Homo-oligomer: A and B are copies of this chain.
Amino acid sequence: MAQITLVEAVTMALAHEMKEDPTVVVFGEDVGVNGGVFRATAGLQKEFGDERVIDTPLAEVMIAGMCVGMASQGLKPVVEAQFEGFMYPMVDHVVNHAARLRHRTRGRMSCPAVFRAPWGGGIHAPEHHSDSNEATWAHFPGVRTVIPSSPSRAYGLLLAAIRDPDPVVFLEPKRIYRWQREEVEDDGEELPLDVCFVLRDGTDVTLVTWGAMVKETMEAAVALEKEGVSAEVIDVATVAPLDMETIVESVEKTGRCVIVHEAPKHCGVGAEIAAGLADQGVWHLKAPVKRVTGYDTVMPLYRNEMNYMPSAERIVHAAKETLEYA
């Protein structure tokens, strides 16, 4: 069994589903011979041909709009946006059509499509290559938003996303595309959507995060442990719809919660989680719910990039703040 990276797991999942399901097609800019700018589709065109791994003209509105048409007529398009910052032209077709086609037609038509994009900061790329826009997608009814944080979850969740009969926005944390290697069997076993994954059990404080921030959050948990603080770490994975149950359960146990995300704070997904706690978890809270997030600014160009990204240090600090309350 191979030791693979997150981006290789994406490729493996795509290849697996394309073998299993002849209706799956990959559709995007530079996904063919070039295998995508991050190599996520490397080798797929060679294996499946240019009628299933399709290089498109440079037009995101077209990509998203055609995807709706293709998905409505029996194909399962897996779209790749080259970077999350170039998904904005897709918003109209995703939210006004992909997310609504089944609803609009009372189930007569549907849009089983996946909109993939490398997502998030930390790779020292130019502007628009480092955003975290999951909250933008998460607010729109009718589309799921899924974010893997490890090779195995990338494989299992992408399989589930492709097989899901409804549209899924699948955001891939590019910063950790090649961070860890993991043994992932190409067994076609999907992982469940709409549920959180508890990565680490703890009793003193619950750290909730997703995507690349899982790295800093786990580092923070280890650092806290050294100081005798037991932190539970939850990878939300599906940010819409949200598995609030698992999070509330954890906070019932710990009484403290720190939510970590790279995206700007204001109206980020962290707000929804904290709001859920302010409603369903309020009696269990021993401390204010803290959010360690990106600032409400544009992601700086790379010389300042690391001043923007939440650090393990900030997470530890916030966790300790919550522990100041008995």
Contact = CB atoms under 8 A, between A and B. Distances in A.
Interface of A: 61, 85, 88-89, 91-92, 95-96, 99-100, 103-104, 127-128, 135-136, 138-142, 240-242, 263-264, 266-275, 277-280, 282-283, 285, 287-291, 295-298
Taken together, the copies of this chain in the complex come to: 2
Interface core residue of A138, A270, A278 (most chain B CB under 10 Å): A278
Contacts of A277: 278
A95 B104 contact: no
Contacts of A275: 270-275, 278, 289, 291
Nearest to A100: B298
26 contacts: A88-B91, A88-B92, A91-B91, A91-B92, A96-B128, A100-B127, A104-B298, A135-B135, A135-B267, A136-B140, A139-B266, A139-B267, A141-B295, A141-B298, A142-B298, A240-B266, A241-B296, A271-B272, A273-B275, A274-B278, A277-B278, A278-B289, A279-B289, A282-B287, A282-B288, A283-B288
Contacts of A100: 127, 298
Contact of A141 (B278, B282, B296): B296
A96 to B, nearest CB: 6
Contacts of A269: 267
A268 B96 contact: no
Nearest to A283: B288
Contact of A264 (B141, B266, B283, B287): B141
Contacts of A140: 136, 264
A280 B277 CA distance: 14
Nearest to A88: B92
A288 B264 CA distance: 26
A278 B288 contact: yes
The listed residue with most B CB atoms (<10 A of its CB), out of A89, A263, A285, is A89
